[in-house]
Structure 1
Amino acid sequence: MPIAIVGAGLSGCVIAHELADAGFQCEVFESRDHIGGNCHTQRDPDTGVMVHTYGPHIFHTDKADVWAYISRFLEMVPYQHRVKATVKGEVYSLPVNLHTINQFFHKAMRPDEARAFIQALAEPMENPQTFEQQALAFVGKDLYEAFFKGYTTKQWGMAPDQLPASILKRLPLRFNYDDSYFNHPWIAIPKEGYTPLFEKLLDHDNIHVHLNHPFTPAQAKDFEHVFYSGPLDAWFDYRHGRLLYRTLDFEKQILTDTQDYQGIAVMNYPDANIPYTRITEHKHFAPWEQDRHRGTVIYTEFSRHCEENDIPYYPVRLAQGQTQLEAYQTLARETEGVTFIGRLGTFQYLDMDVTIDQALKTVHTFIQQH
């Protein structure tokens, strides 16, 4: 019997490729009309800009094996991701660094002075549990309210004191002028976008892809095993109610008479009175080809609660009250013949490199056992 892979995103395509190479027959089912999931990219015909259809994806990792894996399929071009934030009419660098601190407080501190200054502002807590507690212990009230509180409330749709501290722990605080967004040794974007990765992963005689083809649990009996990357609660027909996911709306503008809209790939808008979270300008994700463009493409990004017919982008884990999630996780462990994978299937906020790493470990374990 063949193996079913539900979802042609990063997890599903990596697993399908590895299974096919090991001799398994794979049927990939994708409910959308394209492969690549939320990493799908395509070139805008009016401007020539490579557009990240579902929002920007920057590949970054400290995992040498994952870097080697993705480099087998794509020409990865080094890329330094930088982010700015407009706060009350002024532009600052993110993540918070020495320049941000000096500019915000109208000072000219050296690193040691700034470190002591922030420590005096911080509100230490032995074991912060919520995003707000972590932020106050991290940078103090002023920087928290300027850069984190409003943005986080808009991004997650709830107050920061309801969210876990782990969300903020992913972001650095620097006491030098380094404004690179990521610390990882490998930071890059594919020269021709991400879609070729999925095309190459699925280009195998043992893989058959079905687009515009949702998969239901009733179909599982026709397969030796199912790898499922859809929403965890959907597989169980929402038996314990709907888990919380966020979705994104993009207001896309194609500007053929503008060569550079904002001068940077990402501009955040943390102010609570501004309805959107950020504006992304996609030509800046491929600086090596900007001379080819006949204009620019920008996305104004709005985050909201995911409704029944929306595309879920990422799960919302609360600081407390995980009994509903635990009930679904118990069902998943008890379900034979199905492996739940990816952001939605495992209900985790996963970066691309972690997604690949988890997919490889999952599929190699399966191959060894079969």
Structure 2
Amino acid sequence: MKTQIGIAGAGFAGAVIARELAETNRYEIHVYDERDHIAGNCHTTRDDDTGIMVHHYGPHIFNTSRQDVWEYVQRWSQFMPFTNRVKAVTAAGVFSLPVNLLTINQFFQKKLTPLEAESFIKELADNKIQEPQTFEEQALKFLGSALYKNFFYGYTKKQWGVEPTELPASILKRLPVRFNYDDNYYNQKYQGIPVEGYTKIVERILDHPNINVKLKSRLNPDDKKNFSHIFWSGPMDGYFQYKLGRLRYRTLKFERFVQDGDFQGNPVINYCEEHVPYTRITEHKHFAPWETHEKTVCFKEYSALCEEKDTPYYPLRLKNDLELLKQYVELAQSENNTTFIGRLGTYRYLDMHVVIGESLDLVRNYLGKENSQWPRFSQNPL
């Protein structure tokens, strides 16, 4: 008889682990998801009215420098090359992001070379800040006040719902500044978008005789008695029925609109001014430039604090959240035969390539070991 495994969540974290276990032919895996679809927040479908591939929970551009992860996703679908070139609408005009040589020259109305631009930005930087502790200090130390106020202050305040002085410096470290004309938003070796969408990839990953998928169904912690091991990609605090309180997330609200032709001429345009209520507008047909569509589907994105019935997106991870997280991690460490995985299960902001990589690493490192030896987390949340 095959070993019974339960998995909460049919997103990439749960699907990859399910497939890796299924291919050993030693396990029977039962994947549960409360939603009526697979692929989690990467869910994509063709719009009925326009034929455009819509990313229902916000756009996803696959990018990674791990060759094994890139080869893994291509196993399930053809990927087309795609470079994410974001534009920013600011009080001073429209510019390219991330901040690059063109942005600097246009913003300051100069004609600087790479070396001149680097020296110029160093002169603008606040050198009194030695070790930045907050988002704002990080920005002022490396960009100076003008670029920070124009590109980051308002957008960050809208996105996170707090003053940038309350956010850790680590958030801004993910945003590159370039002293050349490279306007590729990502700094990864491989980038692309699947021709058939992300849901088709997850569907193929889960298509195995040893995998049973149950949608609109919930795997409860009490169900552990039915399985040798469970993998939990739902909220960590939800596993414990929020008995210590709720870990805070930001969520996104979407305002959809359809127009003829081309609305904004770019997949993503950020709106950096604080008085504009939405953070960005995404135009989804531009995520598939190899296709032609007469109409266009766009979404305005609004960031908000995640309430009980909202979809959680971004872990807030401020001081109080991290203190509560430590308590939940202690509870999780005492659980038997349970591994917490993915963005929600480990309360970390993770792009999908990281989720896939961690899931592959987890199975590769522990496959064949006794259930008691499997870790409580795919990666340490703290």
Q: Same fold (TM over 0.5)?
A: yes
What are the superposed Cα offsets for residues 302-353 of structure 1, whole Å, 9 maximum, x if unpaired?
0100001111112111267721111111111221111000001001111111
Q: What amino acid sits opposite 2:144 in the alignment?
A: G
Q: 2:117 aligns with which of 114, 118, 126?
A: 114
The 10-residue stretch of structure 1 (142-151 or 124-133) with the greater mean CA deviation from structure 2: 124-133
User: 2:53 matched to 1:50?
Assistant: yes
Match of 2:160 in 1: 156
Q: Distance in 1 between matches of 2:365 and 2:339?
A: 12
What are the superposed Cα offsets for residues 151-207 of structure 1, whole Å, 9 maximum, x if unpaired?
111111111111111111111101111111112110100011111111111100000
Q: Structure 2: give runs of 5+ residues left out of the alignment.
A: 371-382
1:294 to partner: Cα distance = 3.0
The 10-residue stretch of structure 1 (317-326 or 238-247) with the greater mean CA deviation from structure 2: 317-326
Structure number with greater CO (CA < 8 Å, separation at least 6) is 1
Q: What amino acid sits opposite 1:171 in the alignment?
A: L
Which consecutive aligned stretches of 4+ in structure 1 deviate over 3 angstroms post-superposition? none
C-alpha RMSD of the superposition: 1.2
The 10-residue stretch of structure 1 (120-129 or 155-164) with the greater mean CA deviation from structure 2: 120-129
Q: What amino acid sits opposite 2:179 in the alignment?
A: F
Match of 2:14 in 1: 12
User: 2:170 matched to 1:174?
Assistant: no
User: Does the 8 A contact of 1:259 with 1:296 survive in 2?
Assistant: yes
What are the superposed Cα offsets for residues 20-47 of structure 1, whole Å, 9 maximum, x if unpaired?
1112100000000000000010011111
Q: Distance in 2 between matches of 1:319 and 1:49?
A: 41
Match of 1:365 in 2: 365
Match of 2:379 in 1: none
Secondary structure class of the residue paired with 1:215: coil
User: Does the 8 A contact of 1:10 with 1:36 survive in 2?
Assistant: yes
Q: What amino acid sits opposite 2:303 in the alignment?
A: S
Q: Structure 1: give runs of 5+ residues left out of the alignment.
A: none
Q: What amino acid sits opposite 1:146 in the alignment?
A: N
Secondary structure class of the residue paired with 1:101: helix
Q: What amino acid sits opposite 1:219 in the alignment?
A: D
User: 2:183 matched to 1:183?
Assistant: no
TM-score, normalised via structure 1 length = 0.96
Q: 2:243 aligns with which of 239, 246, 267?
A: 239
Q: 2:207 aligns with which of 181, 192, 203?
A: 203
Q: What amino acid sits opposite 1:276 in the alignment?
A: Y
Match of 1:251 in 2: 255
Match of 1:307 in 2: 307
TM-score, normalised via structure 2 length = 0.93
Q: Distance in 2 between matches of 1:340 and 1:364?
A: 16
Match of 2:225 in 1: 221
Q: Distance in 1 between matches of 2:241 and 2:320?
A: 24
User: Does the 8 A contact of 2:257 with 2:298 survive in 1?
Assistant: yes
Match of 1:347 in 2: 347
Q: Distance in 2 between matches of 1:50 and 1:236?
A: 37
User: Does the 8 A contact of 1:48 with 1:294 survive in 2?
Assistant: no
Match of 2:98 in 1: 95
1:134 to partner: Cα distance = 1.0
Match of 2:329 in 1: 329
Distance of aligned partners of 1:83 and 1:248 in 2 relative to their CA distance in 1, 3 Å threshold: same
The 10-residue stretch of structure 1 (239-248 or 264-273) with the greater mean CA deviation from structure 2: 239-248
Q: What amino acid sits opposite 2:301 in the alignment?
A: E
Q: Distance in 2 between matches of 1:197 and 1:277?
A: 29
User: 2:130 matched to 1:126?
Assistant: yes
Q: Distance in 2 between matches of 1:112 and 1:170?
A: 23
1:17-28 to 2 correspondence within 5 Å? 17-23=19-25, 24-28=27-31
